[in-house]
C-alpha cells in the first residue's frame, strides 16, 4: 500500500500547490509567481509515514507570496515564537522596508528550488529576484529554515531570507548622488524654452523703503522685467500697510535678466532681489495649464518616490506635460548598491548602473503666439483654444486667469505668498478651463441642430421659417428671440423675418432652431440632435494626451421641452472649449475629426527625435459633403454677407483674412450669460496653415460683443504677428479697463 499512498500524497500536494492564488507587487511590475518548481524531496524519521508530516511547502510559498504583496504583518505571524521573541514586528517590517527603499524595488519574484522536510524541521532552497528600478535585477539563491510548532510550520527569522549578504545584521545602502540626470526642458514647437533648469531671481518690493524720487523710474523698470503694468505695480504698492515693512512679491525673472541690469536695480531703495537655482518657467508661465508645474516631494510621498528611485529633495511633475512626461523629463536614474556591516563599514558592492539622460518634450504650442493669446484674454475669465484646422495640433491654449508655475518652487522667496494667492483666488486659476471647463454652448450649437435637420431629410437649403420675436409652438409656453430683448431697449429693432435655413444660422434665429428641435422630436426622431452632437465629438473626451479633460454632457431628451432647449445649446448640454474648437475645425476642413495633440516630439539631449507628431483621425462628421458646404457658407454669412445681416459682421469689417464663425450667448444661471465665438479660417496660405478657434468668456454678455472681438484678435496675431484693431473697450492695445457693453444698433433686415 505504501507506493499507492505516496502517489496519492503527491497528487494532493500538487492540487494544493496549483490552488494557491498568485500574488504580486504593484501592477506596473508585471511580475508573476514562478510555476517552474523543482519537485519536493521529503525525508522521514524511522517509524513515521509521509502522511504524518504537515505540508511545509505551503508555508514557504505563503511567506514569499506575502513578501510580494508587502504584507509584512502576515509574514511576521508566520515566524517561530523564538524569532518573534527576539524581534518586534516593527523591527521586522523595518528590515524589509529598508531593503525595499534602499534598493528602489519595484517588485520581488522567487522560485523554490528544493525542499527537505523532517518530522519537526524543514529547509527550503529558493532563488529570489529583487527588481530594482535603479540597478536592475538582483538574483540570489538563499535558504529558509522552518520548525514545527504545535502542528504548524513556522519560519525561523534570518536576514539572509532577503539576501544572503545580509546575514549577521548587514544592511543595504544605495548611493544615488551623481546618478540622477538633470530634468530635461520643455520647449515650444520651434525649440524656444518654456521651462528649463537655470538660475533665477525672485523679485519684490518693500513699499516703505521706496525713495519717492525713484518711484516712477523703478516702477517702469519693474514693469519691463515682470510684464506687469505700471498701474498694477502702483496699486499693489499703495495697498501695503504703511510703516509695517510689508513685502510685495512681484514674480520671478531669469538670472540673465537680473544680471543685465544688476547695477541699475541695486540702486533702487525698496527693491528686493533673491537669487536661487531651480526649474524656471519663463515669463511668469507661458501656457501654464499645458506645461504644468513641478513641486517638492511631500512628506507622505517620500517612501513611494524613494522606491521609484528618486532622491527626497527632487521635484516631480504635478500637472500638464510636467506630469505626463515625467518618465521622459526625469530620465533614467542609476545608482550603486552596497552592503554595509553593522559597524557602518562597506562590505561589498552588489550592483551599479549609470544614469541615462532625460529626454526633452517639445510641445505643439507657439511660444510667442501663446503669450500674445494669453494677453488677449487677460482681463477676463474664460478660455481660448487654437488648433491647426487640418491636423489637430494645438497652437495655443489659454485658460484665464492663469498662474505662475514658479510659485510651487519652495526655494523661491515669493513661493508662500504666491501659493496663497493662487489657493485663495475664487476664479480657481489652476483649473484648465480649455479642457476641464464645462459650459452650455448656446447658439454655436445651432451648427449641430442645422446638421441634424439637414441629415433628417426634412430640411434643406430652401426650407423657410418666419422668424419673429416670439416662439409659441409649445402650448402654454412663450419663448423670445434675441431680437426681442434688443427691441425692449431699442424700439427700432425688428424681427429677422422670413429666412431660409442657412440664413437662420447666419441670423442665429432662435425660433427657427426651436422649431427644428420640436419638429424632429414630434416626428419620432427624439435623439436626432443628441446623436448628431455625439457624432461631432461632444459628450466624450477628445482623447488629447498629456492634459486632463472633462467629457461634457449630451443627454438624450426625455420630454419635448428638453429637445427644444437642446436645439439652441441650452438645458443640460455641456461642452469644453477644446471640444468646440475640434468640431469647428472638422466643419472647416470638410468633415475630419482629429485627436487634438499638444506634444510635437520627444527628443534626446542632442535633439534627435525619439517620436514626432503625426495627425490622428478620430472620426468623420456624420453628414454629407453637400450639407457640410451649406453649413460652411452659413458660417461665412455670420461674418460677411450682402445686406449685411450676420450677427458678427460689424466685428470683422476690414479684416482681410477669410474667416467663418458662429456667435453664441449661453445662459449661465447668473444674470450675465457666457459669451462664445467659434470658427475657422480658410485663407489657404502656404506659409500659415489654417486654424480653428474657440473663445468663451464667463458671465460677460453677448458673444458678438465680447468673444467675437477676441476671436478677431487671435486671427490677427496668428497671421500678422501683432494686433491690428483695438477692442472697442481698449484705449490702446492691451490696456483694458473693465468693459461696459457697447451700445450698437442691431443689424436689421
pLDDT tens figures, 95-134: 999 999 999 999 999 999 999 999 899 999 999 999 999 9
Which whole number is the average pLDDT over 503-509? 96
Integer Cα distance of 401 and 475 in angstroms = 44
- DSSP codes of every residue in 484-506: HHHHHH-TT----EEEEHHHHHH
pLDDT over 60 at 430, yes or no: yes
Q: If 0-12 CB within 10 Å is exposed, 13-18 middle and 19+ buried, where does residue 34 land?
A: middle
Q: Please provide the CATH number assigned to the domain covering 2-169.
A: 3.10.450.100
- DSSP codes of every residue in 632-678: HHHHHHHH--SS---TTGGGSTT--S-EEEEEEEE--SSSSPEEEEE
For residue 736, name the pLDDT band (cuts at 50, 70, 90): low
Q: What is the pLDDT of residues 538-565, one digit of tens each?
A: 999 999 999 999 999 999 999 999 999 9
pTM: 0.85
The H-or-E segment that residue 549 falls in is none
Which whole number is the average pLDDT over 428-451? 98
pLDDT over 90 at 8, yes or no: no
Which whole number is the average pLDDT over 265-287? 94
Q: What is the pLDDT of residues 311-360, one digit of tens each?
A: 999 999 999 999 999 999 999 999 999 999 999 999 999 999 999 999 99
Task: Kindly provide the b/e burial profile for residues 99-138, where b requires at least 16 CB atoms within 10 angstroms of the residue's own CB.
Answer: bbbbbbbbbbbbbbeebebbeeebbbbbebebbbbbbeeb
> Are the C-beta atoms of 339 and 171 separated by less than 8 Å?
yes
Integer Cα distance of 383 and 433 in angstroms = 6
For residue 670, name the pLDDT band (cuts at 50, 70, 90): confident
Integer Cα distance of 352 and 521 in angstroms = 70
Which whole number is the average pLDDT over 455-474? 96
Integer Cα distance of 226 and 307 in angstroms = 40
pLDDT at res. 485: 80
Q: Please provide the CATH number assigned to the domain covering 442-720.
A: 3.40.710.10
pLDDT at res. 737: 57
For residue 36, name the pLDDT band (cuts at 50, 70, 90): very low
**Cell triple for 421:** 494667492
**Cell triple for 141:** 539563491
Which whole number is the average pLDDT over 76-94? 97
- CATH 3.40.710.10 domain range(s) in the chain: 442-720
- CATH 3.10.450.100 domain range(s) in the chain: 2-169
Locate the DSSP E strands across 452-597.
464-467, 470-471, 479-480, 497-500, 592-594
**Nearby residues of 507 by Cβ (< 8 Å), 6 or more positions away:** 467, 496, 499, 645, 646, 647
DSSP state of 575: B
Integer Cα distance of 309 and 104 in angstroms = 5
Amino acid at each position: 500500500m505504501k507506493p499507492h499512498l505516496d502517489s496519492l500524497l503527491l497528487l494532493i500536494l500538487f492540487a494544493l500547490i496549483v490552488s494557491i492564488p498568485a500574488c504580486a507587487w504593484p501592477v506596473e511590475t508585471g511580475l508573476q509567481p514562478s510555476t517552474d518548481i523543482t519537485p519536493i524531496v521529503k525525508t522521514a524519521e524511522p517509524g513515521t509515514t509521509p502522511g504524518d508530516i504537515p505540508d511545509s511547502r505551503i508555508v514557504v510559498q505563503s511567506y514569499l507570496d506575502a513578501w510580494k504583496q508587502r504584507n509584512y504583518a502576515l509574514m511576521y505571524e508566520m515566524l517561530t515564537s523564538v524569532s518573534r521573541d527576539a524581534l518586534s514586528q516593527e523591527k521586522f517590517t523595518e528590515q524589509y522596508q529598508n531593503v525595499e527603499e534602499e534598493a528602489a524595488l519595484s517588485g520581488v519574484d522567487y522560485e523554490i528550488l528544493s525542499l527537505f522536510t523532517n518530522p519537526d524541521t524543514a529547509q527550503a532552497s529558493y532563488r529570489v529576484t529583487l527588481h530594482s528600478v535603479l540597478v536592475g535585477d538582483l538574483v540570489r539563491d538563499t535558504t529558509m529554515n522552518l520548525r514545527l510548532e504545535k502542528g504548524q510550520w513556522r519560519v525561523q527569522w534570518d536576514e539572509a531570507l532577503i539576501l544572503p549578504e545580509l546575514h549577521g545584521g548587514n544592511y543595504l545602502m544605495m548611493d544615488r548622488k551623481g546618478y540622477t540626470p538633470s530634468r530635461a526642458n520643455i520647449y515650444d514647437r520651434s525649440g524656444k524654452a518654456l521651462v528649463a533648469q537655470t538660475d533665477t531671481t525672485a523679485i519684490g518690493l518693500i513699499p516703505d523703503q521706496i525713495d519717492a524720487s525713484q518711484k516712477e523710474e523703478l516702477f517702469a523698470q519693474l514693469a519691463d522685467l515682470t510684464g506687469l503694468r505700471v498701474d498694477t505695480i502702483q496699486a499693489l504698492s499703495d495697498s501695503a500697510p504703511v510703516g509695517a515693512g510689508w513685502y510685495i512679491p512681484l514674480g520671478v525673472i531669469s538670472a540673465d535678466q537680473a544680471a543685465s541690469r544688476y547695477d541699475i536695480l541695486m540702486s533702487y531703495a525698496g527693491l528686493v532681489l533673491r537669487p536661487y537655482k531651480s526649474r524656471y518657467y519663463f515669463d511668469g508661465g507661458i501656457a501654464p495649464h499645458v506645461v504644468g508645474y513641478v513641486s517638492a516631494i511631500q512628506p507622505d510621498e517620500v517612501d513611494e518616490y524613494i522606491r521609484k528611485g528618486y532622491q527626497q529633495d527632487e521635484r516631480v511633475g504635478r500637472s500638464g506635460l510636467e506630469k505626463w512626461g515625467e518618465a521622459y523629463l526625469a530620465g533614467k536614474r542609476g545608482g550603486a548598491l552596497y552592503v554595509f556591516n553593522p559597524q557602518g563599514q562597506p562590505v561589498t558592492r552588489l550592483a551599479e548602473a549609470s544614469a541615462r539622460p532625460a529626454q526633452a518634450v517639445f510641445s505643439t504650442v507657439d511660444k510667442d503666439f501663446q503669450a500674445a493669446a494669453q494677453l488677449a484674454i487677460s482681463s477676463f475669465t474664460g478660455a481660448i483654444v487654437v488648433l491647426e484646422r487640418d491636423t489637430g495640433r494645438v497652437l495655443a491654449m489659454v485658460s484665464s486667469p492663469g498662474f505662475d508655475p514658479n510659485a510651487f518652487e519652495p526655494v523661491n522667496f515669493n513661493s508662500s505668498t504666491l501659493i496663497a494667492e493662487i489657493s485663495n483666488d475664487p476664479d480657481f486659476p489652476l483649473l484648465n478651463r480649455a479642457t476641464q471647463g464645462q459650459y452650455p454652448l448656446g447658439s454655436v450649437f445651432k451648427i449641430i441642430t442645422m446638421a441634424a435637420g439637414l441629415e433628417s431629410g426634412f430640411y434643406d437649403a430652401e426650407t423657410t421659417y418666419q422668424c419673429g420675436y416670439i416662439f409659441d409652438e409649445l402650448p402654454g409656453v412663450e419663448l423670445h428671440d434675441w431680437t426681442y430683448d434688443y427691441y425692449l431697449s431699442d424700439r427700432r429693432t425688428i424681427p429677422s423675418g422670413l429666412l431660409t435655413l442657412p440664413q437662420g444660422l447666419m441670423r442665429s434665429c432662435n425660433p427657427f432652431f426651436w422649431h427644428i428641435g420640436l419638429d424632429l422630436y414630434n416626428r419620432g426622431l427624439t435623439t436626432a440632435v443628441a446623436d448628431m452632437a455625439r457624432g461631432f465629438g461632444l459628450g466624450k473626451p477628445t482623447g488629447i494626451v498629456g492634459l486632463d479633460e472633462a467629457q461634457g454632457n449630451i443627454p438624450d431628451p426625455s420630454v419635448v421641452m428638453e429637445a427644444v432647449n437642446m436645439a439652441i445649446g441650452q438645458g443640460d448640454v455641456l461642452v469644453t472649449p477644446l471640444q468646440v474648437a475640434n468640431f469647428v475645425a472638422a466643419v472647416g476642413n470638410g468633415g475630419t475629426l482629429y485627436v487634438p495633440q499638444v506634444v510635437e516630439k520627444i527628443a534626446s539631449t542632442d535633439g534627435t527625435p525619439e517620436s514626432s507628431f503625426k495627425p490622428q483621425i478620430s472620426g468623420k462628421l456624420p453628414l454629407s459633403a453637400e450639407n457640410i458646404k451649406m453649413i460652411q457658407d452659413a458660417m461665412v454669412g455670420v461674418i460677411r454677407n450682402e445686406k449685411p445681416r450676420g450677427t458678427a459682421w460689424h466685428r470683422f469689417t476690414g479684416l482681410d483674412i477669410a474667416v467663418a464663425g458662429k456667435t453664441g450667448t449661453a445662459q449661465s444661471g447668473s444674470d450675465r450669460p457666457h459669451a462664445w465665438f467659434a470658427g475657422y479660417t480658410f485663407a489657404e496660405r502656404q506659409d500659415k496653415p489654417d486654424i480653428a478657434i474657440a473663445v468663451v468668456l464667463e458671465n460677460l454678455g453677448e458673444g458678438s460683443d465680447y468673444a467675437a472681438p477676441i476671436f478677431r484678435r487671435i486671427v490677427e496675431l496668428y497671421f500678422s504677428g501683432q494686433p491690428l484693431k483695438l477692442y472697442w473697450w481698449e484705449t490702446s492695445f492691451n490696456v483694458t479697463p473693465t468693459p461696459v457693453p457697447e451700445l450698437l444698433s442691431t443689424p436689421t433686415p
